[in-house]
Amino acid sequence: MAALGMGPALLFCPGDRPDRFQKAADRADAVILDLEDAVGGETKTAAREAVQAATLDPARTIVRVQDASAAGFDDDLAAVAASPFRTVMLAKAESSEQVDRVVAAVPDARVVVLCETARGVLAAESLVAHDAVVGIMWGAEDLVASLGGTSSRDESSAYRDVAMHARSRVLLAAGAFGVTAIDAIRADITDLDGAHAEAADAAASGFGAKAAIHPNHIEPYRRAFAPTAEQVAEAQRVLAAAEATPGVFSFEGRMVDEPILRHARSVVARAAAGDDS
């Protein structure tokens, strides 16, 4: 399986606002040109034409298409096929057969499946097992709506249990099949501290990226995913000590075994990825 490999801060941009495409791409690690929720029915055609004409870097561009049951799904895929872009986010993904439809229309597509319904979350494992899938994302509000609920968060802004279950299931599926897990957007665009805390939890838990609907969240996301200098230094010390002391050993007051070393390698790798970006 392949990973997405676009960096940790992904920014949605309405497909019918080509004037914002380059600005979004400049601010984020990757831009998601949206042909689904951000675009009204009356501007779908204009949005598809804008995506086809866009000159963004394909290596840092994703196109979100409508779900497979939507009337304009095939038109969205045709627009992607006629564009320079080959990374497709499938909204409300629920089956590997839907991924097959994406690949049939865009033969070299790299697919990010978006699990935001009950069926989609339950199908997470079969979705990421598909050879074309490079990433999986979850969505809280559509998921809760599909259950008949009214809000994914409680009065303290914390996710409800069902949303956390979906988040965990998507993350575990991604880890089991070696694809990138993308954490859901945060709708409160003014709460930058909350955005940072949520992204820090995502990074520590194993998500490879987090999506945003406003550029204000890009800096907190990047800061959250980038290890601090202290974390990198500690990880490097642990790895250096492991080279001199094979097996389980005591280091700076704690026992170190292979899982701890894997954590340290992850920190160093994330720091290196940030330096290369």
Longest C-alpha distance within the chain, in Å?
A: 65
Q: 């820090």: which residue's tokens?
A: 200
- Distance from C-alpha of 170 to C-alpha of 143, rounded to nearest angstrom: 13
Q: Report which of 259, 185, 272, 191 is spatially closest to residue 225, judged by C-alpha positions.
A: 272
**Among positive and negative, which fits the CA dihedral 11, 14, 20, 22?**
positive
- Residue 54: count other Cβ atoms within 10 Å of its Cβ: 20
CA-CA distances (angstroms) from residue 260 to 4, 77, 238, 247, 268? 25, 44, 9, 12, 13
- Residue 43, class by beta-carbon neighbours within 10 Å (0-12 exposed, 13-18 middle, 19+ buried)? middle
Residue 125 annotated as binding? no
Residue 219 annotated as binding? no
Q: What is the dihedral of CA 46, 49, 53, 54, to 10 degrees?
A: 60
Q: Report which of 30, 25, 23, 66 is spatially closest to residue 48, judged by C-alpha positions.
A: 66
Read off the DSSP letter of residue 266.
H
Instruction: Please compute Rg for the chain using Cα positions.
Output: 19
Residue 116 annotated as binding? yes
List binding-site positions for substrate.
64, 116
List binding-site positions for Mg(2+).
116, 142
List binding-site positions.
64, 116, 142
